[in-house]
Structure 1
């Protein structure tokens, strides 16, 4: 009997403690969170729920599992995709003349026909509908290779294969819509565009004023339920030539024909451009690029309800559709454009810096040039690693909104730096327009990538951490959803469980961050061996610092953090550089730890670590509460973080190796198109001939130093022939040296008009 009484007493004590905890801890914290944490609008909640989290959630939690990270399949192409690249793509590249395209402001008719006939607009469409059904990896690789030859063509190809009617139909279209439209899109009979941006609504898609009113009107001789649309869109790629229009608008039902709700939300519809009332307006001119871009309008245009993507069930679901499918543009197309530009710069600049001589030496021997060249190569390796890895996530059926935003923002910005460095090294060669200038077209096209799919300012300041803080955090999103509900008993219980788990999570991370700060990142095993082990330890340290600082920021600033864009953007930068460094290490492992790539890996990781820790330090130094800031700083890195960035030795080591290691140079620039008789081919051939004749050049230089053949009025070929006559060079050596010299002169020459 006494045992039973004791059990009852213990149960009562447990319930009492739990009740006290609810009243003294859980309920006050819940009320504080309700005031402090940002309230999610319906649009924001839909955006959050539409995307996925992936590796970003592990980096944000402070507990990345590196073994799991490396178990993800190696990015690769199947036989069919590789055959397409080797044949159809190679043929396309041989047909492209970017100078002609830009001059005519359009692709040649033969190129348009070739693109349609060979399925270049059907990469994402399943084979059962006549499409190619390529992977995101193949889609990205193809667009990148085209971008290295013709940015105008790359944009033309990427649009139907990213955010557009095909993407939306595959995920949300009715079976009838898929059967009707996808075969036409696959064959090229239907050329699509998608109209989202309007005069007063750019990055804020929710502000579009284009509208449709549910009503009944006559269509094909009978009265049907439909939508009367009015719209005016701009910046719409392919609009001037498209014959099917994807349209985003706000739907309204003032007569409640579909229910008791009048404002139905953003909706997407598919409309033939030949439909009565649809107008294609004048073209835009995006920095003289040759791809089609323009306007579309319509006023009181009636369409049947069946033209809404998803049918009647798709009305009001447009925002969720768009957010879910934006990953294709951000995660595939824009990183591909950046990679194509970076590979072009790496291949051509490494060659040019070797064949261009000043003060009697190749300019690649000067440390100032080496600094820029190393940055080009290191950034290109990082861009390619992120491109491959992000496309791999999409192939795994993920829609990682944060990761694709990171890829879009940082890869476009890094490619801008790469291009600027390339132009700096090329000097006058880089600014004289004409067929021999292989950089200018991509240079003028870089700002386009930066502005589309959400301008980079928006992407960095609002999207990366704005979404990451709620979606990637293991508890915040769930807590926000709970506190926006009523304070019922079940809600309090659920919140209590989350709160206790959150406290435990944060407490463990605080202990870890102090320990890692004291040990400078070496306090926790990472399970990785080899020369990159130290990098994983540093990234673990930075990951835990991010987790703790993000928790402190959200707790202290709450909803105000959304308005502190400079602060939140810096936390987003930390997450971004964690992801980019992770991609670099993953590529190095999946490529078989190529020894020749180690120098590029060292440079890239050193850069990302320094940039990540610098962003963290800037966040702490500018935190609004100085007392809390000092605590964070002491906890995270009491003795400094030690991330110094690429050293001078790394710079010279990488820049020299890229010129001397043929395989490493090929791997880091393999997406660059080197078509015969192109300007890129000229500089590449000159580089190869220069390298092949280096021993002969040494002999010739020695002969000149002996003052046997120096004569100021003799041309280079005459001097070489004189050296041959004096038996300093053989006939074959003299011929090779003259040919190489002529090839170099041709490669460094510019066009005249």
Structure 2
């Protein structure tokens, strides 16, 4: 006992007495930290320093402040934003025939282009003082989502000028002269912008762009001025084929020292009219299932004055920082908007289809195999909308949370892929036949585009989420790195010593509490609420502890090698991501008044995230290079084993019930889905509503079949006629049921084309016809 007390006293003395701590712990640790410190390139450093820490920082603390989560403002549209959605967006959606746009014209009609320009669709984020709409991030997101449920081509066309591009860059960094020159014409649609970043040899690694701008003197407007000689070759540039102003990213060099001593100035962004001499708008690309304008641009020895640099000459070399900070619009608004739209459309239409489509005399939504996929669609849609609202809400707080937007981009696009795959499985043959009435096919084919842009998802998951998150969001690591990099050794050591003491206490607390919560099932953890969701807060807090201790150990053991162990770091990124997903779901549940009907969706979404967290931690521990450390961490986090399971069948079946009946819950789940009365969505919705109104009558006939009063194996039409003849239903009821069945047949059938119509040899062929057969 006395030896144990002496050990405790020794540890206390070491940590309390600064000189002893400095000698025994801090100096060796400082030396080790400098050795294992991961080398950062200039672009990595700028990316690390760019953006803001937000809720992701709380999740790394091991003890998230849930009251802070609840205190974030509930995202809401202003009156003018709601009016725009109800009027201009509604009008636009009614103007769009996506099948014709994609498969026949390969472009939107001229009147649609003009409407977009006239009504300010390209100026959603431009301030009113320059003639723009000055809408919030949540409005921008909601508008794009709604349009995307009708036409991805139109949605992408609208979202690009309102995300990463000249408009956003000008507002953040442009000079007053540049803003006055460009923003009013962009707001009115007189100028159409594009931004050229990606090239044949530089995709996700934008820091490797080969495009150059060399400082030199040249002729401009009849005068000799200092400027840049540009050479570039870009591809995948959205709106390039129709752009009148080109934002360009390039590497800037000053070999003759005309601006100073620095030769390699760095990545720079400039704004160039596309009719400027030497600018070439090249060939057009054709993204699958979409007809939005996308193409190439080239330039050879193009001279521009220095004041065309966005922000002016003083912003030379600051382009990468500018781009990283502004990428949050694409990652945090536009792509999540498309993903959420996929959920809204798939959930509403698949729930309806599962109800009206019958097999063996039953709606296919009654079969448990279908319910498994349908429930996943519903729960993912709830989570997608929760993430859309929370992430856009952060941007409306004037934040640029780079880690959070990377999480949203990766997981929302992947979840939308799962959703649309499940929707395809349930729709089966109806989903694979293209035509005016196929509301799923373009979304299915468009998902890989969202997954590819703004950094391919493989890169986003394996390098960005945890790579940035572990360093940026950790309470101490980035500060310790800065201390280790301090050229004043003693000052850096003193700063490091203070941080290290706090870091050790932080790690020790998290390790102790992780084990305690593992042994007690987090029963004694805190929760800001009571009721069914209380336990979820406790478990998420427990997993926050697990993330913190696993992060500390992996960074300590692996050091700079960690960023090359992508499979290891990606699993910790998955833990962080699912903590964020679950937080978003709980936030939405609270913001919407803790609706009882939401509980199955919340239960499914959170339990799915906890299951994924458990799998990720097990995978991390099992594959950790040091097997002893990996085993120890597993036993620390899960001393009694991993008890997280996939969502149960009861929750899944409750979700399916809500998705297959009209009502407030179904409307709240899918409120962004635009219903076109003259297209496939309208037909399906009409059939669903009509069949549901007849549910009691069809149940009555089914009961009569079981009793032997009506034959079992007859068509629905014959069954109705026999029921009418037997006086089981009235003539009016029979007519109502027959009309509903006609709508049902219309909804479940697919488009047919006259001979020669698809080949273009029958110019008189009618628009796609619908088969009379069921």
TM-score by length of 1: 0.96
Q: Distance in 2 between matches of 1:45 and 1:84?
A: 41
Question: Contact 2:332–2:392 (CA<8 Å) still a contact in 1?
Answer: yes
Within 5 Å, give how 1:11-30 maps onto structure 2: 17-30=17-30
Post-superposition shift, 1:641? Answer: 3.1
Q: Distance in 2 between matches of 1:652 and 1:28?
A: 58
Question: Comparing 683-692 with 660-669, which one deviates more in the overlay?
Answer: 660-669
Question: Counterpart of 1:34?
Answer: 34
Question: Contact 1:136–1:391 (CA<8 Å) still a contact in 2?
Answer: yes
Question: Counterpart of 2:60?
Answer: 60
Question: Counterpart of 1:232?
Answer: 233
Deviations 1:672-730 (CA, angstroms, capped at 9, x unpaired): 11021110111111011111001111233344556566498x86445534432432211
SS of equivalent to 1:249: strand
* Alpha-carbon distance change, 16 to 450 in structure 1, aligned in 2, over 3 angstroms: closer
Q: Distance in 1 between matches of 2:518 and 2:294?
A: 52
* Alpha-carbon distance change, 566 to 728 in structure 1, aligned in 2, over 3 angstroms: same
Question: Counterpart of 2:677?
Answer: 676
Q: Distance in 2 between matches of 1:79 and 1:422?
A: 34
Deviations 1:444-482 (CA, angstroms, capped at 9, x unpaired): 000000000000000000000000010000010111122
Question: Counterpart of 1:107?
Answer: 108
Question: Contact 1:520–1:641 (CA<8 Å) still a contact in 2?
Answer: no
1:632 aligns with 2:624: no
Question: Contact 1:599–1:653 (CA<8 Å) still a contact in 2?
Answer: yes
Within 5 Å, give how 1:359-370 maps onto structure 2: 359-370=360-371
Q: Distance in 1 between matches of 2:512 and 2:603?
A: 30
Within 5 Å, give how 1:73-92 maps onto structure 2: 73-92=73-92
* Alpha-carbon distance change, 122 to 15 in structure 1, aligned in 2, over 3 angstroms: closer
Post-superposition shift, 1:492? Answer: 1.4
Post-superposition shift, 1:177? Answer: 0.4
Q: Distance in 2 between matches of 1:509 and 1:710?
A: 68
Post-superposition shift, 1:651? Answer: 1.5
Deviations 1:17-52 (CA, angstroms, capped at 9, x unpaired): 533432332121111001112122222111111111
Q: Distance in 2 between matches of 1:14 and 1:509?
A: 21
SS of equivalent to 2:115: helix
Q: Distance in 1 between matches of 2:307 and 2:575?
A: 46
Deviations 1:233-284 (CA, angstroms, capped at 9, x unpaired): 0000000011100000000001111101111000000000010100011111
1:200 aligns with 2:220: no
Post-superposition shift, 1:655? Answer: 1.2
Question: Comparing 648-657 with 232-241, which one deviates more in the overlay?
Answer: 648-657
Post-superposition shift, 1:488? Answer: 2.5
Question: Counterpart of 2:9?
Answer: none
Within 5 Å, give how 1:415-426 maps onto structure 2: 415-426=416-427
SS of equivalent to 2:242: coil
Post-superposition shift, 1:116? Answer: 0.3
Within 5 Å, give how 1:131-142 maps onto structure 2: 131-142=132-143
Question: Counterpart of 1:265?
Answer: 266
SS of equivalent to 1:38: coil
TM-score by length of 2: 0.94
Question: Counterpart of 1:408?
Answer: 409
Higher relative contact order (CA 8 A, sep 6+): 1
Question: Contact 1:520–1:637 (CA<8 Å) still a contact in 2?
Answer: no
Within 5 Å, give how 1:227-376 maps onto structure 2: 227-376=228-377
SS of equivalent to 1:301: strand
Post-superposition shift, 1:206? Answer: 0.5
Q: Distance in 2 between matches of 1:16 and 1:185?
A: 62
1:736 aligns with 2:736: yes
Question: Counterpart of 1:7?
Answer: none
Question: Contact 2:218–2:225 (CA<8 Å) still a contact in 1?
Answer: yes
Post-superposition shift, 1:489? Answer: 2.1
Question: Counterpart of 1:8?
Answer: none
SS of equivalent to 2:228: strand
Post-superposition shift, 1:487? Answer: 4.6
SS of equivalent to 2:667: helix
SS of equivalent to 2:162: coil
Within 5 Å, give how 1:466-477 maps onto structure 2: 466-477=467-478
Question: Counterpart of 2:650?
Answer: 649
Question: Counterpart of 1:94?
Answer: 94
Question: Contact 1:39–1:480 (CA<8 Å) still a contact in 2?
Answer: no
Question: Counterpart of 1:4?
Answer: none
Q: Distance in 1 between matches of 2:662 and 2:694?
A: 16
Question: Contact 2:284–2:296 (CA<8 Å) still a contact in 1?
Answer: yes
* Alpha-carbon distance change, 513 to 15 in structure 1, aligned in 2, over 3 angstroms: closer
Q: Distance in 2 between matches of 1:586 and 1:708?
A: 53
Question: Counterpart of 1:542?
Answer: 543
Q: Distance in 1 between matches of 2:726 and 2:599?
A: 45
Deviations 1:635-660 (CA, angstroms, capped at 9, x unpaired): 11100231102012222222123223
